[in-house]
Amino acid sequence: MASDLSLLLIVALVAALSFSQALARDPGALQDFCVADSMSKVIVNGFTCKNPELVKVDDFFLSGLNVPRSTMNKVTSNVTLINANIIPGLNTLGISMARVDYAPRGLNPPHIHPRATELQTVLEGSLYVGFITSNPENKLVTKVLNKGDVFVFPQGLIHFQFNLGRTRALAMSFLSSQNPGLITIANTVFGSKPNISDDILSKAFQVDKKTIDWIQSHSPILITLSLFNDSMASDLSLLLVVALVAALSFSQALARDPGALQDFCVADSMSKELVKVDDFFLSGLNVPRSTVNKVGSNVTLINANIIPGLNTLGISMARVDYAPRGLNPPHIHPRATELQTVLEGSLYVGFITSNPENKLVTKVLNKGDVFVFPQGLIHFQFNLGRTRALAMSFLSSQNPGVITIANTVFGSKPNISDDILSKAFQVDKKTIDWIQSQF
Ligand SMILES: *[C@@H]1O[C@H](CO)[C@@H](O)[C@H](O)[C@H]1NC(C)=O
Ligand SMILES: *[C@@H]1O[C@H](CO)[C@@H](O)[C@H](O)[C@H]1NC(C)=O
Ligand SMILES: *[C@@H]1O[C@H](CO)[C@@H](O)[C@H](O)[C@H]1NC(C)=O
Ligand SMILES: *[C@@H]1O[C@H](CO)[C@@H](O)[C@H](O)[C@H]1NC(C)=O
Ligand SMILES: *[C@@H]1O[C@H](CO)[C@@H](O)[C@H](O)[C@H]1NC(C)=O
């Protein structure tokens, strides 16, 4: 079964690559959410939506991402991909994530995500990472990443990570598609079924046929993608067919950042500057932030203003620190879905669906839990615990935007007239004036 699956996966991914030009970004959502209905026989771009009446909070939730993965395989690394197949609530929302475990000398071998830019942060250990620009330059851009460092792998470029250290390493990656796809170069080129003729490969790689035959017969590197829940494998062939069809469909709307027209387009704040590896890099994200403020939380947003290499690539991230009882107050990201994972402590989180239901959907998240906040919906996080909490969030825009409801409504400059607000909130003007004076 496993080998059939790899075949299907490769076929699906290669197909996806061929049509990736039509689908430079995931399509925009036309409703609050569209939780994947894996039982539906109807084939659309992504998955059909479950009846909203039947949607439950756990459609947006996953636990156990804190548990270390086995790295007992040829490349001694393990990628646990959390996409819309695993969290059905991610369907149509344009983002996914992965936990990556690396044994000492573990390699995540050179590969491509045909449909996503990847933003990676190192939680433990250190990694030697790189990507290669496209023809004709094919420049290798590399960097050693330590704990708290962040790196950008632009969409569709060949990239890798290698654990240089003597200890295990751990990273979290976020990808700007609900189904980023994976093409492991070695497997695809030397392990295809059937084989690519050694005539072709010996010419392409400029080595003799015997060498090619040797590489092909040693089935170079296993696919290191492992799905979060192996018991879902039976659904997988159906999902792959859906993925294939998805690859063939066109993006209907441009509710996502525009598709990139080149490998990358590093933001040029001072004209005539040359691109360097540090345009894709940031360090220090492991350092705790001060939460001494009115709400007891601190959001450190890493967008294209902070990492210029993110420009045009449709993704950003945030470190969020919470003091005990700290609140990240109700807010909206007008241009992004948020995918959050808890690294320390526990959080009470929620979002509210749009009119007329305005249903509050909440969940308590513990270490290793993952939650989806669909694009444009009001949401919040609150630290219920007696200790500090820490979360990493990833957002499906290079510039997601934040609208903090209270500040925006009561602290606008100039003030919204208290006539209007007292009517809107059905309280007297004095109360409105008091609230306004707090911002
Ligand atoms: C990844 O880790 C999981 C859980 O430890 C394990 O079941 C799976 O076989 C591993 N995958 C690879 C490719 O080693
Ligand atoms: C691919 O080629 C190698 C070497 O010629 C051979 O050992 C292997 O069986 C072939 N595999 C397939 C699936 O054709
Ligand atoms: C995997 O899925 C099965 C059925 O879908 C479920 O019973 C099991 O608890 C899941 N395991 C994990 C680790 O989520
Ligand atoms: C967030 O933390 C940084 C670094 O500790 C600090 O400079 C900044 O003032 C904090 N922001 C808020 C809103 O507390
Ligand atoms: C807004 O209104 C409050 C209460 O009326 C007042 O204290 C505050 O100065 C006003 N702010 C601005 C920017 O007009």
Please tell me the residue having the least CA distance from ligand 1 atom 12: 78
- Written as six digits, the tokens of 148 are 């708290």
Q: What does the pLDDT profile of the chain (439 residues) look like in tens digits?
A: 344 444 444 444 444 433 333 344 676 777 788 899 888 887 777 788 998 889 999 999 999 999 999 999 888 899 999 999 999 999 989 899 999 999 998 888 888 887 889 999 999 999 999 888 876 677 888 899 999 999 999 988 888 898 988 999 999 999 998 888 887 777 777 777 777 778 777 777 777 888 778 777 765 443 333 334 333 333 333 333 333 333 333 333 334 566 666 677 777 766 667 889 999 999 999 999 999 998 899 999 999 999 999 988 889 999 999 999 899 988 888 888 999 999 999 999 989 887 667 788 889 999 999 999 998 888 999 998 899 999 999 999 888 888 888 878 888 878 888 877 887 777 888 888 888 888 7
Same fold, 2-248 and 277-404: yes
* DSSP-derived 3-state class of residue 371: strand
Direct distance between the N- and C-terminal alpha carbons of the chain, in angstroms, rounded to an integer? 60
CATH superfamily, domain at 277-404: Jelly Rolls (2.60.120.10)
Q: Is 407 in the pocket of ligand 5 (CB under 6 A)?
A: no
Q: Is 211 in the pocket of ligand 3 (CB under 6 A)?
A: no
Burial class (CB in 10 A: 0-12, 13-18, 19+), 246: buried
- Which residues carry a binding-site annotation for Mn(2+)? 111, 113, 118, 159
Please tell me the residue having the least CA distance from ligand 3 atom 3: 231
Compute how many other C-beta atoms are within 10 angstroms of the C-beta atom of residue 172.
21
Rounded to the nearest angstrom, the distance between the alpha carbon of 323 and the centre of ligand 4 is 12
Rounded to the nearest angstrom, the distance between the alpha carbon of 5 and the centre of ligand 1 is 15
Compute how many other C-beta atoms are within 10 angstroms of the C-beta atom of residue 69.
17
- Separation of alpha carbons 96 and 179, rounded Å: 7
Residue 281 CA to its chain's centroid (Å)? 17
Please tell me the residue having the least CA distance from ligand 4 atom 13: 298
CA atoms within 13 A on the CB side of 60: 27
- Separation of alpha carbons 109 and 321, rounded Å: 33
Is residue 338 within 8 Å of residue 387, measured between CB atoms? Answer: no
**CB burial string 388-426: b at 16+ within 10 A, e below:** bbbbbbbbbbbbbeeebeeeebbeeeeeeebeebbeeee
Containing 418, the helix (H) or strand (E) segment is helix 418-425
Q: Where do the domains of the chain lie?
A: 2-248, 277-404, 405-439
Q: Is 346 in the pocket of ligand 5 (CB under 6 A)?
A: no
Is residue 318 within 8 Å of residue 395, measured between CB atoms? Answer: yes
Burial class (CB in 10 A: 0-12, 13-18, 19+), 140: exposed
Phi, psi of 291 (to 5 degrees): -115, 25
> What pLDDT score does 285 carry?
96
131: nearest Cα among 282, 263, 2:
263
Q: ω into residue 356 within 30 of 0, thus cis?
A: yes
- Separation of alpha carbons 57 and 38, rounded Å: 17
Best mutation site among 407, 415, 434 for ligand 5 pocket (most ligand atoms within 8 Å of CB): 415
CATH superfamily, domain at 2-248: Jelly Rolls (2.60.120.10)
- Written as six digits, the tokens of 175 are 């990808």
Strands (DSSP E) contained in 156-195 are 158-163, 169-175, 183-184
> What pLDDT score does 175 carry?
94
Rounded to the nearest angstrom, the distance between the alpha carbon of 182 and the centre of ligand 1 is 17
